[in-house]
């Protein structure tokens, strides 16, 4: 019998998602576990996997920028020999056609018919040609086969992923001149990047009196809305306090140079910082906690979130159990997670939770800053640049040293000032005696 594909819940606090793209097309055979489509959530793109085997008989909700509520019917799988009438009956029984059509912004009758099933049997209803969805008030256009989607249809819909549209707006790329290389000619990120790289540099104005270009407004993405909401709530409801210390870096930099000499894996300063933060949580477990309305949760593992800047905003993938992993494993894991974070390919469990966040802006030349806590975590460490500065040695002599300033932002509901100071002292001791980080 026909099996309804519904939009699953992909995150604990998500009420829906954007259907990023279909990975299967009508008429394609599907095995259990096959990736059917991709959902774009606030901070990641997640695959929907098939729970039943069969043939993708109908795509009910097309990919597009509209948010689709959880449990909306987005497609239908059929068994060999089932026809369009079986799909219609299944949708009618579940009330899915109307719900899905409402989410997609189109009437239920606009859904394309099932493709001819395997085995040679003809469906009761001939397959309807794929028609590009037109904006309101646009002139009608002739129907075009789905495989012709790589070229925009005059007055019709442009087949491009939501990420590609956002990047095109950001980089001033005209999608009408871009040829898609995604499934069925869909324009994807790499196509927009290629078009941007081919575009000539903008000409300078002929004179200082040239007209100033008009201001540009870019709609909020789901990720940007999530960042705005969470950090506003954090600053409004979490009582932040800040502790700052300077760490001498000369010994750590010398040890890093030795470790990287002739080695296949090149460790970064941030790799040492992440492991030092985890080891400091082991020494001062009171900081490894989260605030809840009825209790304080003390975490068993030292899971360090690492702030990664992406085109859409800040993402914090998590290095789990960083206190028991060697630096080489931490280095490889951070690189792999950051790479997938930049293309929205993290799974929700890879950036949800965590003990403490490390936010490093030292590579941008920032000497010192204070970061906003990422709830439900109780602390975040802001890391500045390692700089040569004058210092006074223990014997009172003036000397030059490489110094890094770090600032701990802590939730005073969970972490008292003395506790935060003990954690920061433990962290500094590890950084200034880096052999302990290797143990």
For the annotated catalytic residues, the residue numbers are 412
291: its two tokens: 């605030």
Between strands 356-360 and 304-306, the pairing is parallel
- Residues ≥6 apart with Cβ < 8 Å to 120: none
Helices (H), ranges, 27-183: 84-94, 96-104, 162-171
Extract the runs of DSSP E, i.e. beta strands, from 137-249: 240-248
3 state SS of 368:
coil
4 touches 52 (CB < 8 A): no
Q: CA nearest 330: which of 379, 281, 272?
A: 272
Q: Give 373-411 as a DSSP string.
A: P-TTBSEEEEEEEEEEEEEE-TTS-EEEEEEEEEEEEEE
- Residues ≥6 apart with Cβ < 8 Å to 187: 150, 158, 159, 160, 161, 164, 175, 178, 179, 180
Q: Specify whether the backbone of 178 is left (phi greater than 0), alpha (psi in -120 to 50) or beta.
A: beta
Between strands 318-319 and 308-309, the pairing is unpaired
- Residues ≥6 apart with Cβ < 8 Å to 363: 385
Q: CA nearest 72: which of 135, 142, 15?
A: 15
**Which H helix or E strand runs over 432?**
helix 417-432
């Amino acid at each position: 019998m026909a099996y309804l594909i519904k939009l699953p819940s992909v995150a604990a606090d998500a009420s829906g998602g954007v259907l990023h793209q279909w990975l299967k097309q009508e008429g394609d055979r599907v095995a259990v576990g096959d990736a059917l489509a991709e959902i774009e959530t606030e901070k990641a793109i997640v695959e929907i996997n098939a729970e039943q085997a069969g043939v993708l008989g109908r795509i009910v909700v097309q990919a597009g920028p509209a948010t689709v509520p959880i449990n909306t019917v987005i497609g239908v799988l059929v068994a060999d020999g089932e026809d369009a009438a079986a799909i219609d009956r299944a949708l009618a029984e579940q009330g899915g056609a109307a719900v899905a059509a409402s989410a997609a912004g189109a009437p239920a009758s606009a859904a394309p018919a099932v493709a001819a099933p395997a085995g040679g049997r003809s469906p009761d209803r001939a397959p309807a040609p794929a028609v590009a969805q037109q904006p309101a008030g646009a002139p009608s256009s002739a129907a075009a086969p789905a495989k012709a989607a790589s070229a925009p249809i005059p007055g019709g819909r442009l087949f491009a992923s939501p990420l590609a549209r956002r990047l095109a707006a950001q980089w001033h790329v005209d999608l009408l001149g871009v040829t898609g290389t995604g499934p069925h000619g869909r324009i994807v990120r790499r196509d927009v990047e290629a078009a941007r790289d081919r575009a000539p540099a903008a000409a300078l104005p002929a004179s200082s009196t040239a007209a100033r270009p008009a201001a540009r407004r870019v709609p909020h993405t789901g990720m940007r809305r999530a960042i705005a909401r969470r950090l506003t709530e954090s600053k409004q409801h979490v009582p932040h306090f800040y502790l700052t210390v300077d760490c001498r870096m000369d010994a750590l930099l010398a040890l890093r140079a030795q470790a990287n000499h002739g080695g296949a894996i090149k460790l970064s300063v941030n790799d040492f910082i992440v492991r030092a933060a985890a080891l400091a949580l082991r020494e001062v477990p009171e900081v490894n906690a989260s605030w809840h309305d009825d209790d304080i949760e003390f975490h068993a593992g030292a899971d360090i979130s690492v702030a990664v800047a992406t085109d859409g905003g800040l993402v914090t993938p998590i290095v789990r159990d960083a206190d028991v992993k060697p630096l080489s494993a931490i280095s490889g894991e951070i690189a792999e997670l950051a790479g997938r974070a930049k293309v929205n390919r993290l799974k929700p469990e890879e950036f949800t939770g965590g003990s403490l966040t490390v936010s490093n802006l030292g590579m941008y030349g920032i000497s010192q800053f204070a970061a906003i806590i990422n709830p439900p975590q109780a602390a975040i460490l802001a890391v500045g640049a390692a700089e040569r500065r004058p210092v006074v040695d223990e014997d009172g002599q003036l000397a030059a040293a490489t110094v890094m300033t770090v600032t701990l932002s802590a939730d005073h509901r969970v972490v008292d000032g003395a506790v935060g100071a003990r954690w920061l002292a433990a962290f500094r001791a590890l950084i200034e005696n880096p052999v302990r980080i290797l143990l």
